[in-house]
Amino acid sequence: MVRKGTQFVEIWQDGQAFKDIDEYLNNDSREIAENNRLKDELEKIRKAINKRKPNDKNCLGIRSPTDRVRRTRGVLEESTAHNSMMPINQSCSVEDYQRYEELYKIRLNTLKKEEIELNIEREKLEKERDLHIKNMKIFANEESSRFNHNPKLNNNRYLILDMLGRGGFSEVFKAFDLNEFKFVACKIHQLNFQWTEAKKHNFVRHAVREYKIHSTLDHPNIVKFLDVFEIDNDSFGTVMEYCDGNDLDTYLKQNKIIPERDARFIIVQVAQALRYMNELRPSIIHFDLKPGNILLLSGINAWHVKIADFGLSKTLPVEGDETSIDLTTPGAGTYWYLPPECFFTGINPTKISSKVDVWSVGIIFYQCLYGRKPFGNDLSQTNILEQNTILNATSITFPMKPIVSTEAKDFIRCCLVYNKENRMDVIQMSEMPYLKYRKPERSTLPPPLTNLKISDY
């Protein structure tokens, strides 16, 4: 815990394993630089040799090679061999030059190989650290929850087990349905006793709208809604199918990027779910699509995708030809994934449509391919709002690496058209040739980990 102003915040401090890795990486960098310097000296000597007839067998005047940092049974050690500088001798023989040239080539290759191994080791430590931090937070939240004693809710039907995640005013638990004999996810909504009656009423209204929308959905790529029940005057629960696996946000934090054909497979499933929602009457806008709300199943259903969390969803009018509605919740949502029209201000409310979800799909796909969000990646939500980051997102650039197909880039560009009038809607997106069925290829994705806790539903 570190004090910042009047608050205490949690800051992770890397342990000795990270310090050792960084020290060895720094040593490797210094040795590579030294090796390159000596190679430059050797090149000068080679040019000198070419200007004369080699007849001198004297030793080459350069620094002897340093010992390597080596890994023995997973333990990194550094030898302390002494480096001595021998006097430069420009009259060395061709045989001497060739011998030292080969020596420095071998030495440089060895250094670069170990640098790669050390970076792989560091990435492994980072994955373990991120998972540990996540589970520590969940454990702390579970300890402070009023439902941490494994109660049975709804007339003893649902046995509350481990916490899966905590949102602003709700907690999600893995539970066991004692009537149906299966695991479920139980989301417990709680009112703050300090709220005014008006705020409590507004919270209940939004929560009821969420489960009413969710309960109408029945699609293989959408988390299935199962039940709703009252707990007491200030809390109630909603029950959904339990998805054993990861959310996409956790997977990206662990693996950084996803190969294009595998990322496309995820987006295809998301697009099919959105099309289904768009074809309903009334049609539904998700409005909060982000990696944390896309679940990746594991086991026999590995890489089957399900969309979750309909807390900000909107329904379009049933009658008439209206395909858009007024944005009544400005400021809500996750700013990195919302389109520019959600940030417009003026006298009249902004009109939104399914094109909001299309923009979100483009951002998510870009993040899967490149490991970063295209707009405001390093900014907080507050900074995005203050700097008008999304309002200024009029064009998109693509990194040189990793290599991504032209078709994928074109699809992203179509999703991220700035003016909503020119952006395709969900139906048009789902019909793009890039998302049409192709002969399946062998996936390069590592399997999802079943021991990770899903952050949110």
- Domain boundaries in the chain? 18-50+94-144, 152-241, 246-435
Query: In this model, does residue 72 exceed pLDDT 90?
Result: no
Q: Which residues are annotated binding-site positions for ATP?
A: 187
| Spacing of C-alpha 79 from chain mean position | 39
Band of residue 63 on the pLDDT scale cut at 50, 70, 90: very low
Residue pLDDT, tens place only, 202-254:
888 888 888 899 999 999 999 999 999 999 888 999 999 999 888 999 999 98
Segment 317-342 shows an average pLDDT of: 74
Residue 5 pairs with which residues in a beta bridge?
none
Average pLDDT, the chain: 81
Cα gap 359→83, rounded to integer Å = 59
Cβ atoms of 35 and 108 closer than 8 Å? yes
Q: Which residues are annotated binding-site positions?
A: 187
Segment 132-153 shows an average pLDDT of: 86
CATH superfamily of 152-241: Phosphorylase Kinase; domain 1 (3.30.200.20)
H or E stretch covering 174: strand 170-177
Query: In this model, does residue 350 exceed pLDDT 70?
Result: yes
Q: What's the pLDDT at 79?
A: 35
Segment 71-84 shows an average pLDDT of: 37
Query: In this model, does residue 89 exceed pLDDT 70?
Result: no
- 3 state SS for 336-400: HHCCHHHHCCCCCCCEECCHHHHHHHHHHHHHHHHCCCCCCCCCCHHHHHHCCCCCCCCCCCCCC
In CATH terms, are 152-241 and 246-435 the same topology? Answer: no
Q: What's the pLDDT at 84?
A: 39
The DSSP call for residue 443 is -
Closest CA to 310 of 382, 222, 184: 222
Segment 346-361 shows an average pLDDT of: 88
Q: Identify the three-state secondary structure at position 404.
A: coil
CATH number attached to the domain at 246-435: 1.10.510.10
Query: In this model, does residue 364 exceed pLDDT 90?
Result: yes
Query: In this model, does residue 268 exceed pLDDT 80?
Result: yes
Active site residue 288: yes
* 0.75 exceeded by pTM: no
H or E stretch covering 276: helix 260-279
Cα gap 14→427, rounded to integer Å = 47
Query: In this model, does residue 40 exceed pLDDT 80?
Result: no
Instruction: Point out the catalytic residue in the list 28, 96, 288, 309.
Output: 288
